């Protein structure tokens, strides 16, 4: 999975400096804004199935008929959600104040929303077939790599850049379908529509927590665009992209452990607790090393990778990277501890409140500090989430016993 993550960001990292130089801060900000709008559509269509789906696959391993029913019910649910998101996009474009330059970029970016309906990487994750997961995810990205250099030559080619970036998840979705079909797990749909509503209900908690993440992710980009203009959006989007690349290794620790811990919780809880503790220690150590490196080299990194005009992104990058220390650990504890102990709703509620806190802080800080203010609001939200999760675990007797059993011989 680390190899997948490296490859997954190798393509954006290869094209990222090229796009920042060709498009410039303002046009790169428009691209970041369009991507943020598309993220809302993806999150809505995803409905938390990327988290609830793998766990459901774990529960019905070995039963091909049950997995086939699960796949088609999730696809049906996603199709319904995609239709609703398309209607919402039409309303936004009709009544919103999108500039003429932003409209085609938003439409091209929205292709990724359609592709998400048929992407079955969550099935491969639940089966712990990580080599197949990595393969289908990387092929689409590497195929589209040269297209950026061929078709994006000037700032006027911004819509082409958005379309090419959205093509990668389309190919990933297509290849994931082929892989799952080859495993013999994808048959006729049957009566999948009948169980689609049940899947939506099962994924509701995960959806609330997932959409809450957007309240201190994509939302900051949108608020920046409204209050500070495309230049500040460009600084924030560029710093966030570098932060994501630097965070790719610790992010995969949780991705790999999630299905394994879910399986161990069924009958080997001590092993699950041990694996969670090891994952938390590894996440904290790797993230901390990354933050120190970025903080030391932030000015050099932004100047070399982004080019002229992005020097003000350095302090934004440092703040965002610091936030990953709290965010990575909170995400792991929430998913590996709170959810298995039936605290999924509380987890979602905490993340929702933190997202609302981020929005409030953003409206206060962005007019004063621009992109740095947005990063500061993001950091504050991550700190609050981690503090709340630790407090909940410490106050819960079952969860305390879950970890104190590691001290027994």
Give the start-to-end residue ranges of the domains of the chain. Answer: 1-202, 205-409
Cα 90 to Cα 105, 107, 124: the distances in Å are: 14, 10, 33
pLDDT reported for residue 385: 93
Cα 297 to Cα 136, 311, 374: the distances in Å are: 34, 12, 21
28: confidence class by pLDDT, cuts 50, 70, 90: confident
The answer, yes or no, to whether residue 178 has pLDDT greater than 70, is yes
The answer, yes or no, to whether residue 15 has pLDDT greater than 60, is yes
Query: Once rounded to an integer, what is the mean pLDDT over residues 34-42?
Result: 85
Q: How far apart, in Å, do the first and last CA atoms of the chain sit?
A: 33
Cα distance between residue 198 and residue 220, in whole Å: 33
pLDDT reported for residue 319: 93
13-31 per-residue burial string, b: 16 or more CB within 10 A, e: under 16: bebbeebbebbbbbbbbbb
pLDDT reported for residue 160: 92
pLDDT reported for residue 373: 94
Q: What is the CA radius of gyration of the chain?
A: 21
Quick: pLDDT tens for 53-67.
Answer: 888 888 887 788 888
- Name the residue with higher pLDDT: 358 or 302: 358
Mean residue pLDDT across the chain: 83
The answer, yes or no, to whether residue 25 has pLDDT greater than 80, is yes
Enumerate residues 6+ apart whose C-beta is below 8 A from 98.
Answer: 92, 106
Query: Once rounded to an integer, what is the mean pLDDT over residues 389-402?
Result: 88
Query: Once rounded to an integer, what is the mean pLDDT over residues 216-243?
Result: 83
Which among 280, 214, 174 is positioned nearest to 48, based on CA atoms?
A: 214
Find out whether 116 and 172 touch, Cβ atoms under 8 Å: no
The answer, yes or no, to whether residue 409 has pLDDT greater than 60, is no
Find out whether 123 and 64 touch, Cβ atoms under 8 Å: no
Maximum distance among all alpha carbons in the chain? 67
**Sign of torsion over alpha carbons 266, 270, 272, 273:** positive
Query: Once rounded to an integer, what is the mean pLDDT over residues 328-337?
Result: 86
Cα 132 to Cα 9, 11, 79, 124, 201: the distances in Å are: 17, 19, 24, 7, 29
pLDDT reported for residue 9: 62
Enumerate residues 6+ apart whose C-beta is below 8 A from 394.
Answer: 400
Cα 269 to Cα 160, 174, 404: the distances in Å are: 50, 37, 12
Cα distance between residue 212 and residue 384, in whole Å: 13
Three-state SS string over the chain comes to CHHHHHHHHHHHHHHHHHHHHHHHHHHHHHHHHHHHHHHHHHHHHHCCHHHHHHHHHHHCCCCHHHHHHHHHHHHHHHHHHHHHHHHHHHHHHHHCCCCCCHHHHHHHHCHHHHHHHCCCHHHHHHCCCHHHHHHHHHHHHHHHHHHHHHHCCCHHHHHHHHHHHHHHHHHHHHHHHHHHHHCCCCCCCCCHHHHHHHHHHHCHHHHHHHHHHHCCCHHHHHHHHHHCCHHHHHHHHHHHHHHHHHCHHHHHHHHHHHHHHHHHCCCCHHHHHHHHHHHHHHHHHHHHHHHHHHHHHHHHHHHHHHCCCCCCHHHHHHHHHHHHHHHHHHHHHHHHHHCCCCCHHHHHHHHHHHHHHHHHHHHHHHHHHCHHHHHHHHHHHHHHHHHHHHHHHHHCHHHHHHHHHHHCC
Cα distance between residue 188 and residue 193, in whole Å: 12
5: confidence class by pLDDT, cuts 50, 70, 90: low
Of 30-34, 233-237, 351-355, 389-393, the range with the highest mean pLDDT is: 389-393
Among the ranges given (123-137, 144-158, 331-345), the one the predictor scored with the smallest mean pLDDT: 123-137
**Sign of torsion over alpha carbons 328, 331, 332, 333:** positive
The answer, yes or no, to whether residue 35 has pLDDT greater than 80, is yes
- Name the residue with higher pLDDT: 304 or 37: 37
Among the ranges given (22-31, 185-194, 354-363), the one the predictor scored with the smallest mean pLDDT: 185-194
CA quadruple 271, 274, 280, 284: dihedral, nearest 10:
-140
pLDDT reported for residue 326: 92
């Amino acid at each position: 999975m680390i190899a997948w993550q490296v490859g997954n960001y190798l393509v954006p990292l290869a094209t990222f400096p090229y796009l920042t130089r060709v498009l410039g801060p303002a046009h790169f900000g428009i691209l970041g804004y369009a991507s943020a709008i598309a993220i809302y559509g993806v999150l809505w269509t995803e409905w938390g199935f990327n988290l609830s789906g793998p766990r459901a696959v774990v529960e019905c391993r070995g039963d091909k008929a049950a997995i086939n029913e699960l796949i088609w019910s999730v696809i049906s649910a996603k199709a319904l959600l995609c239709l609703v998101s398309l209607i919402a996009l039409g309303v936004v474009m009709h009544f919103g104040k999108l500039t003429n330059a932003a409209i085609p970029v938003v439409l091209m970016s929205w292709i990724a929303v359609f592709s998400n309906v048929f992407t079955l990487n969550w099935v491969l994750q639940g089966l712990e077939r990580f080599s197949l997961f990595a393969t289908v995810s990387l092929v689409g990205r590497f195929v589209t790599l040269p297209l950026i250099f061929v078709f994006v030559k000037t700032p006027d080619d911004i819509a082409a850049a958005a379309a090419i970036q959205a093509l990668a998840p389309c190919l990933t979705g297509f290849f994931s379908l082929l892989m799952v079909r080859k495993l013999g797990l994808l048959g006729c749909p049957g009566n999948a529509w009948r169980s689609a509503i049940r899947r939506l209900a099962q994924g509701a908690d995960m959806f609330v927590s997932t959409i809450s993440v957007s309240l201190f992710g994509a939302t900051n980009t949108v608020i920046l665009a409204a209050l500070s203009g495309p230049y500040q959006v460009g600084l924030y989007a560029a710093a966030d992209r570098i932060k994501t690349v630097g965070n790719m290794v610790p992010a995969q620790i949780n991705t790999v452990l999630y299905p394994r811990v879910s399986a161990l919780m069924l009958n080997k809880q001590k092993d699950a607790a041990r694996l969670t503790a090891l994952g938390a220690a590894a996440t904290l150590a790797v993230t901390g090393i990354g933050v120190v490196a970025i903080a030391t080299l932030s000015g050099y990194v932004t100047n070399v990778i982004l080019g002229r005009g992005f020097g003000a992104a350095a302090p934004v990058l440092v703040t965002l990277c610091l936030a990953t220390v709290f965010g990575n650990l909170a995400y792991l504890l929430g998913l590996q501890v709170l959810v298995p102990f039936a605290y999924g709703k509380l987890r979602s509620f905490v993340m929702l409140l933190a997202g609302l806190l981020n929005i409030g802080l953003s409206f206060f800080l962005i007019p004063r500090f621009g992109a740095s203010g947005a990063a500061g609001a993001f950091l504050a939200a991550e700190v609050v989430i981690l503090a709340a999760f630790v407090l909940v675990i410490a106050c819960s007797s079952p969860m305390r016993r879950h970890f104190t059993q590691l001290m027994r011989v």
